[in-house]
Amino acid sequence: MRRILIRIAYDGTAYHGFAAQALEPETIEGHLAAAVKEITGEDTEIIGTSRTDAGVHARDNAAVFDTESRIPAERFALALNTKLPPDIVVTSSGEVHLDFHPRHNVSEKTYEYKIYNARIPDPLMIRYSHFCSRPLDVGKMRAAAECLVGEHDFTSFASVHMQAKSPVRTINSIEVIHGDGVCGSFSPGLITIRVKGTGFLYNMVRIIAGTLMEAGFGSITPEKMQEILDAKDRTRAGTTAPACGLTLMQIDFKLNET
C-alpha cells in the first residue's frame, strides 16, 4: 500500500464544499475519489487538509489517498487532471509515508479574503471577491485586527454549528492589504485580508472578515474588537462574509512531503 499526497486548486463556485456529502454529489472530494477510481479501479478515501465550505476557493489545498497502483507518484497529477472538471486541478503529486496525515501534519494555513470596495462592481472580481460599495477605512481594519493575533478562544468568531473539541486557535499574522489586483495588476478598490494560522474554526475566517468590515465602516473600534474576542459570544461579532471572497492560498506541513 502507498499513500499519495496531492495538491489541489479549484474554483469553488459550483461545488458544495470540499467534503463529500450523501445528498450533494458536487463536491471536490467526490470528484477526486471518482477520478482516482477511474485511474486505479480502487474505491479509496480522500482525506483532505482543509474541508472548505460551499463556494470557497483554493489555490493550494492538499489531500491524501491510499493505493495499490504502481503508477509513479509524480504522474498521478497529470492522470487525475484528465478525469477532473476544468475548475478542479491537481497541481502536484508525490508519495508520503503511510502515517502522514494531511490535517495532523499541518504547520500553517494561509487564507485570503478579498473585498472589492468601489462604487461600481468589476465583473472580473465577482467570483473571487465580495463586492462592497460602502467605503472602508483600511487603517481602522488593520488596527482592529491586531488583537486577534496569537492564541485565543475564538468562540466569538466561530459558527454556532462549530463541532471542534476546543475553540482555542492560534493566528500567526493578519494583514489587511490595499490594492492587490487580478493577475498581479493594481486595483485600488481591492482589499485583501490575509490570515495565517495553525488551524481555524468553522466559518472563522469569514466571520473575522465580516467583523473587520464593520471596523472599516467605523462601527467597531479596536477596543470593541478586544471586547468581542473576550466575550466568547458569537452574537457579539459581525456577520459571516460571503463564501465567494475566501480562498485557501497555502498549506505548509511540518514534515517533508517526500
Q: Which of 11, 53, 122, 233 is catalytic?
A: 53
For the chain, what is the mean pLDDT?
A: 92
Task: Give the pLDDT of residue 257.
Answer: 46
Residue 256: the pLDDT is 53
Spatial separation of the C-alpha atoms in residues 205 and 97, rounded to whole Å: 31
Q: What is the pLDDT of residue 215?
A: 96
Section 188-215 average pLDDT? 94
| 28's grid cell | 471536490
Task: Tell me the pLDDT band of 258, cut-offs 50, 70 and 90.
Answer: very low
Q: State the pLDDT at residue 163.
A: 72
Per residue in 81-112, pLDDT (tens digit) is 999 999 999 999 999 999 999 888 899 999 99
Helix, coil or strand: residue 78:
helix
Kindly report which listed range (164-168, 190-194, 225-229) carries the lowest average pLDDT score. 164-168
Q: Pick from 47, 172, 152: which is nearest to 108 by CA? A: 172
Mean pLDDT of 102-128: 93
Percent of the chain past pLDDT 90, that is, above it, reads 83
pLDDT at 11: 97
Q: What ranges make up the beta strands (E) of 68-214? A: 88-96, 106-117, 130-132, 150-153, 168-178, 190-197
Residue 185, pLDDT above cutoff 60: no
What mean pLDDT do residues 201-228 have? 95
53 is catalytic: yes
